[in-house]
Amino acid sequence: MARVKAAVATRYGGPGVLKVRQLPDPTPSPGQALVRTRFIGLNFADLMQRAGVYPRTPKAPFVPGLELAGEVVLPGPPGLGLNAGDRVVAYPIFGSHQELIATDLAAKIPDAMDLQTAAALGVCGMTALYAIHHLGRSRPGETLLVSAAAGGVGTLALQIGRHSGLRTVALAGGEAKGALARSLGADEVVDYRRPGWKRRIAAMRFDLVLDSVGGPVMRACWPRLAPLGRYILFGFSGAVGPGAFSRLKGAWNYLRTPSPHPLHLVSANRTLAGFNLSLITDHRPLLTQMLGEVFDLWEKGDLRPMVTKIYPFGGITRAHADMQQRRTTGKVLIQME
């Protein structure tokens, strides 16, 4: 039996539990295509899967990974609309950290798009777009706050914000990240790893907040939501420590996250919303529509993923550790060797 290279989460835990192993070739089920991975788009969710704290995570050992770009080996049924050799993105939700993947969630990419761009654009682009346009219903002239603004989602959210006529405020950890956010058009940058950041936030007002950190960030930013404002909580990275995920840090972040009473939303004219893109895969037409919108923005030149580092597949544990320790900026890819 042929074998494929895979990064296996041997048990739930820190980056060190991820081991490169040879697994049997995946066999597609009747509704699936077989795709050869060329680039893996690393997402924060992959770290949460590895730690066993992501929704629907399989029992270990398993192969984590939401996102990849590559080529179709076996096209699957006609309903998938694929042909052998097509260049595609795929979102298996679990399993992108391997050479070959059987999936029913794959889509062709535009002819002019290279595979690196494709691997970097989809999940982060759809997340930013869904938060700003679909849930956030942004209007030109409004003020948008983006947390983790120099990261994969953040750098695309700043671009979408700028092209949507929004004034953008970036929360970014450290000077280099702040500089990146500014280069992408952030009107104001707040370094939330420096003392005094909450005082700066306390002097601001936001119509739309994209918060992927929760805890102290939500505690500082929720009260600054303007009447008619929308607060979109779509991540909880503040619960994460630099090594293994700690239940204690998670519990602390949970307790520090405000939970406004619904009646107070009514009297303050505020919206609090949340979403998880991987669960939107249960609503396939919406996902297809959003991916199309992201590709359109890319074709118009309005959306450019910031690929800052490409790790070799053998360095995938290092890539996980770097993201978890907040050392990455923009989008990180892993190249299948």
| Cα 217 to Cα 171: distance, rounded to the nearest angstrom | 9
Q: Which residue has the tokens 């992959």?
A: 46
Give me the phi and psi of 233, to 5 degrees please.
Answer: -100, 120
119 touches 182 (CB < 8 A)? no
State in angstroms the smallest separation of the CB of 32 from ligand NAP. Answer: 23
**Is residue 207 classed as helix, strand or coil in its secondary structure?**
strand
Shortest distance, position 137 Cβ to ligand NAP, whole Å: 18
Give the residues lining the site for ligand NAP (CB under 6 A).
43-45, 123-124, 127, 148, 150-154, 172-173, 177, 212-213, 234-235, 237-238, 240, 275-277, 323-324, 326, 328
For the CB of residue 322, give the shortest distance to ligand NAP in the complex, in Å: 9
Instruction: Indicate the residue among 123 and 184 with the shorter CB distance to ligand NAP.
Output: 123
CB nearer to ligand NAP: pick between 224 and 320: 320
Residue 234 or 313: the one with the smaller Cβ distance to ligand NAP is: 234
List the one residue out of 173, 247, 251 whose CA is nearest residue 215.
251
Residue number, 254 or 275, with CB nearest to ligand NAP: 275
Nearer to ligand NAP, 6 or 323 (CB): 323
Q: 110: cis peptide before it, omega within 30°?
A: no
- To ligand NAP, the closest distance from the beta carbon of 16 in angstroms equals 17
Q: Closer to ligand NAP at the Cβ: 43 or 98?
A: 43
Q: Which of 281, 290, 305 is nearest to 103 (CA)?
A: 281
Least distance to ligand NAP from the beta carbon of 44, Å? 4
The distance of closest approach from Cβ of residue 179 to ligand NAP in the complex, given in angstroms and rounded to an integer, is: 12
How many Å apart are CA 24 and CA 5, to the nearest integer? 9
Position closest to ligand NAP via CB: 151
| Nearer residue to ligand NAP within complex by CB, 73 or 310 | 310
- Shortest Cβ distance from residue 319 to ligand NAP (Å)? 11
- Pick 46 or 142: Cβ nearer ligand NAP: 46
Euclidean distance between CA atoms 112 and 120, whole angstroms? 15
User: CB 305 → ligand NAP: shortest distance, Å?
Assistant: 10
Q: How far apart are CA 172 and CA 161, in angstroms?
A: 16
Residue 294 contacts residue 303 (beta carbons within 8 Å) = yes
Percentages (nearest 5) of helix, strand, coil residues in the chain: 35, 25, 35
Cβ atoms of 267 and 243 within 8 Å: the answer is no
| C-beta atoms surrounding 197 within 10 Å | 17
Q: In this structure, is the dihedral angle defined by the CA atoms of residues 124, 127, 133 and 137, taken in order, positive or negative?
A: negative
